[in-house]
Amino acid sequence: MKEMEMNHPKRSETGVLIAGAGPVGLTLACELRRRGVACRVIDKLEAPLTTSRALGIQSRVLELFDNMGIVERVLEKGRRVFDTNIYEGEKLLFCYHFKVLSASEVPYPFIIELPQDMTERFLYEKLLELGGTVERMKELTDFRREPDAVIATVHDTSTGTEVAEEIRARWLVGCDGAHSLVRKRLGFTFEGNLFPEQFVLADVDMDWKWKPNKQYYWLHRDTLFMAQPLPYSGQWRIMADIDPADGGAAPEPSVELFQRLLAERTGDKRTVISNPTWLSTFRIHWRTTDNYRSGRVFLAGDAAHICSPFGAQGMNCGIQDAFNLGWKLALVVNGKAPVALLDSYTAERLPAARDISELTQSITNLLILKNPEEQDERDHVLVPLLNQRRYQYMLVRRIADLTVHYRTSPLSRTYRARLEEEILPSMIAGRHTLYAGDRAPDGHCQHSETGEKTRLHREFRGPHFNILLFAGDSSAPHINKLVRIGRRLHALVGDEVKTHIVVNDRCTRHDLDWNGSLLCDPGNKLAEKYGAPADSLYLIRPDGHIAFISHPVEWVKLLTYLDSIFRITE
Ligand SMILES: Cc1cc2nc3c(=O)[nH]c(=O)nc-3n(C[C@H](O)[C@H](O)[C@H](O)COP(=O)(O)OP(=O)(O)OC[C@H]3O[C@@H](n4cnc5c(N)ncnc54)[C@H](O)[C@@H]3O)c2cc1C
- The half-sphere exposure of 567 on its side-chain side, counting CA atoms within 13 A, is 10
Q: How many angstroms separate the alpha carbon of residue 120 from the centre of ligand 1? A: 10
Pocket test for ligand 1, best of 74, 141, 298, 302 (most atoms within 8 A of CB): 302
pLDDT of 390-403, one tens digit each? 999 999 999 999 99
Angular region, 375: left φ>0, alpha ψ -120 to 50, beta rest: alpha
Which element (helix H / strand E) includes 171? strand 163-174
Which atom of ligand 1 sits closest to the CA of residue 280? 1
**Which residue owns the Cα nearest ligand 1 atom 29?**
22
Mean pLDDT, residues 432-456: 91
pLDDT of 467-506, one tens digit each? 999 998 777 777 888 999 999 999 999 999 999 999 987 6
The more confident residue out of 515 and 78 is 78
Q: How many angstroms separate the alpha carbon of residue 178 from the centre of ligand 1? A: 7
| CB distance 447 to 508 below 8 Å | no
**Which residue owns the Cα nearest ligand 1 atom 46?**
20
**Which residue owns the Cα nearest ligand 1 atom 30?**
177
**Which residue owns the Cα nearest ligand 1 atom 41?**
140
Which protein residues touch ligand 1 with a CB less than 6 Å away? Answer: 19-25, 42-45, 53-56, 116, 139-140, 175-177, 181, 201, 282, 301-302, 309, 312-316, 318
d(CA 108, CA 99): 9
Q: How many angstroms separate the alpha carbon of residue 470 from the centre of ligand 1? A: 42
- The half-sphere exposure of 526 on its side-chain side, counting CA atoms within 13 A, is 30
**Which residue owns the Cα nearest ligand 1 atom 16?**
315
Which phi and psi angles does 487 have, rounded to 5°? Answer: -70, -45
Which phi and psi angles does 511 have, rounded to 5°? Answer: -80, -10
d(CA 238, CA 208): 13
pLDDT of 14-72, one tens digit each? 999 999 999 999 999 999 999 999 999 999 999 999 999 999 999 999 999 999 999 99
Evaluate if residue 4 carries a pLDDT over 70. Answer: no
pLDDT of 325-343, one tens digit each? 999 999 999 999 999 999 9
Which atom of ligand 1 sits closest to the CA of residue 239? 1
Chain centroid to Cα 243, Å, comes to 34
* pTM for the predicted model, two decimal places: 0.95
Signed CA dihedral, 322, 328, 330, 332: sign only: negative
pLDDT of 518-565, one tens digit each? 999 988 899 999 998 888 999 999 999 999 999 999 999 999 999 989
pLDDT of 412-422, one tens digit each? 999 988 654 44
